[in-house]
Amino acid sequence: MISLRLIFLFLIISFSASAQKDYKLWLQYDKIANTDLRTKYLSDIQGIVSLGNSETAVTSSKELENGLTEMLGTKITVKSKLDQASSIIIGSESSLNSEIQKASEIDFNQINDEGFIIKSISIKNKKHILISGKKDVGVLYGIYSFLRLIQTNKSIQNLDIIDSPKTNIRILNHWDNLDRTVERGYAGFSLWNWQKLPDFIDQRYIDYARANASIGINGTVLTNVNANALILTPQYLEKVEALAKVFRPYGIKVYLTARFSAPIEIGGLKTADPKDAAIANWWKAKAKEIYTIIPDFGGFLVKANSEGQPGPQNYGRDHVDGANMLADAVAPFGGIIMWRAFVYSEHDANDRAKQAYAEFQPYDGKFKENVIVQVKNGAIDFQPREPFHPLFGATPKTPLMMEFQITQEYLGFSTHLVYLPKLFQEVLESDTYQKGKGSTVAKVVDGTLYKNKITGIAGVANIGNDINWTGHPFAQANWYGFGRLAWNPYLDSEIIADEWLRSTFCNDENFIRPVKEMMINSREAVVNYMTPLGLHHIMDTGHHYGPGPWVSNLSRPEWNPVYYHKADKNGIGFDRSKTGTNAVAQYAPEAAKIFDNLETCPEKDLLWFHHVPWDYKLKDGHNLWDGMALKYQEGVNQVKAMQETWNKIEKYVDSQRFKEVQMLLNIQYKEAKWWRDACLLYFQQYSGKELPIGVEKPTQSLEYFQSLKFPFAPGN
Residues composing the chain: 716
* Cβ atoms of 323 and 368 closer than 8 Å: yes
Cβ-based nearer residue to ligand GCV, 409 or 426: 409
Annotated catalytic residue 409: yes
- Cis check for the bond before 274: say yes or no (omega within 30 of 0): no
The CA-atom distances, in angstroms, between 143 and each of 137, 215, 232, 639 are: 10, 11, 35, 37
The CA-atom distances, in angstroms, between 548 and each of 1, 249, 324, 624, 684 are: 55, 46, 40, 21, 14
Options 44, 70, 93, 183; binder of ligand GCV; rule CB under 6 A:
183
Min dist CB 296 to ligand GCV, Å, is 26
Counting contacts by CB under 6 A, is residue 175 touching ligand GCV?
A: yes
Among left, alpha and beta (phi > 0; psi -120 to 50; other), residue 180 is: left
Q: Count CB neighbours of 693 within 10 A.
A: 7
Cβ-based nearer residue to ligand GCV, 381 or 499: 381
DSSP code of residue 142: H
Site string for ligand GCV, 329-358 (x = CB under 6 A): -------------x----------------
Pairwise CA distance, residues 358 & 260, whole Å: 22
- Active-site position among 381, 431, 524, 540: 381
Cβ-based nearer residue to ligand GCV, 544 or 610: 544
Min dist CB 27 to ligand GCV, Å, is 29
Q: What are phi and psi of 364, to 5 degrees?
A: -55, 130
Min dist CB 370 to ligand GCV, Å, is 22
Options 176, 381, 386, 431; binder of ligand GCV; rule CB under 6 A:
381
At CB < 8 A and 24+ separation, what contacts does 539-542 make?
A: 539/410, 540/710, 542/713, 542/716
Counting contacts by CB under 6 A, is residue 226 touching ligand GCV?
A: yes
Cβ-based nearer residue to ligand GCV, 118 or 187: 187
Site string for ligand GCV, 497-536 (x = CB under 6 A): ----------------------------------------
Min dist CB 257 to ligand GCV, Å, is 10
Pairwise CA distance, residues 255 & 342, whole Å: 19
Annotated catalytic residue 466: no
Min dist CB 427 to ligand GCV, Å, is 16
Pairwise CA distance, residues 644 & 547, whole Å: 25
Options 253, 303, 354, 516; binder of ligand GCV; rule CB under 6 A:
303
Query: What does DSSP say about strands 169-173 and 456-460: parallel, antiparallel, or unpaired?
Result: parallel
Beta bridge partners of 440: 431
Options 24, 135, 174, 184; binder of ligand GCV; rule CB under 6 A:
184
Total residues binding ligand GCV (CB under 6 A):
10
Min dist CB 405 to ligand GCV, Å, is 8
The CA-atom distances, in angstroms, between 130 and each of 79, 156, 337 are: 14, 11, 37
Cβ-based nearer residue to ligand GCV, 378 or 473: 378
Cβ-based nearer residue to ligand GCV, 559 or 652: 559
Counting contacts by CB under 6 A, is residue 225 touching ligand GCV?
A: yes
Pairwise CA distance, residues 24 & 22, whole Å: 6
Annotated catalytic residue 307: yes
Cβ-based nearer residue to ligand GCV, 163 or 403: 403
Residues 242-271 that bind ligand GCV (CB under 6 A): none
Which residues bind to ligand GCV, rule: CB under 6 A? 175, 183-184, 225-226, 303, 307, 342, 381, 409
Which amino acids are annotated catalytic? 307, 381, 409
